[in-house]
Amino acid sequence: MSPKKLFTVCAAAAFFAVATPALAQEDGSQKAEVQMKIRALRHKMLVKKAALSDDKVAKVEQTIDSFAAERAKLKKQIAEEKKTLQELLKQDSNDQASYEGAITRLRTSQKQMQDVREREFTALQQNLTPKEQARLLRALTKFRSKVQKKLVDRRAHQGKKHRRQAEDDAGE
């Protein structure tokens, strides 16, 4: 498999596993419900779109889940460092050491994330034939775009909901 395809599969698998926490950034009461919906969609995609056997679906889900916590931690670190850089720029800071530190930490976290993705794909390769890997890649790509669309739609809907609530509060 070419390095570009390998990266695409790793990135798709990472998104696929990280999609649950990304969509679940809501009230605590809704978090479990959203996670269950994502897992159900993921399972359905693995069975129908990737055409994997029940045994292989279980192994793929276990592999993806085993890397989820590590990926989520790194994703949070990356987001924090990007936010730090954004704040430094917003403040028009000239503290070069702060910029350098944030950039160094960001790049380190990004490299660690790539390492996690590579280890995850290596683990997935052990359980799947090349043809199954190709079907998984195709299915993950479609799944990722579907989840991204739902995430964008959900955030847009929440934004409208919050604006309406603020307007209602202001009108009282």
pLDDT one-digit tens code per residue, 79-94: 999 999 999 999 999 9
> Does residue 49 have a pLDDT over 50?
yes
pTM of the model: 0.68
| Average pLDDT, integer, range 163-169 | 59
pLDDT grade for 147, boundaries at 50, 70 and 90: confident
Q: Where are the domains of the chain?
A: 3-164
Task: Please check whether residue 64 is in contact with residue 120, taking contact to mean a CB–CB distance below 8 angstroms.
Answer: yes
Judge contact between 68 and 57, C-beta under 8 A: no
**CB-CB contact of 14 with 75 (8 Å):** no
pLDDT of residue 134 exceeding 60: yes
Confidence band for 152, pLDDT divided at 50, 70 and 90: confident
Q: Which two tokens stand for residue 131?
A: 């043809």
DSSP string, 36-56: HHHHHHHHHIIIIIS---HHH
What is the pLDDT at residue 123? 94
C-alpha 160, offset from chain centre: 24
| Alpha-carbon gap, residue 49 to 122, rounded angstroms | 21
Q: What's the Cα-to-Cα distance from 56 to each of 63, 88, 130, rounded to whole Å?
A: 10, 47, 13
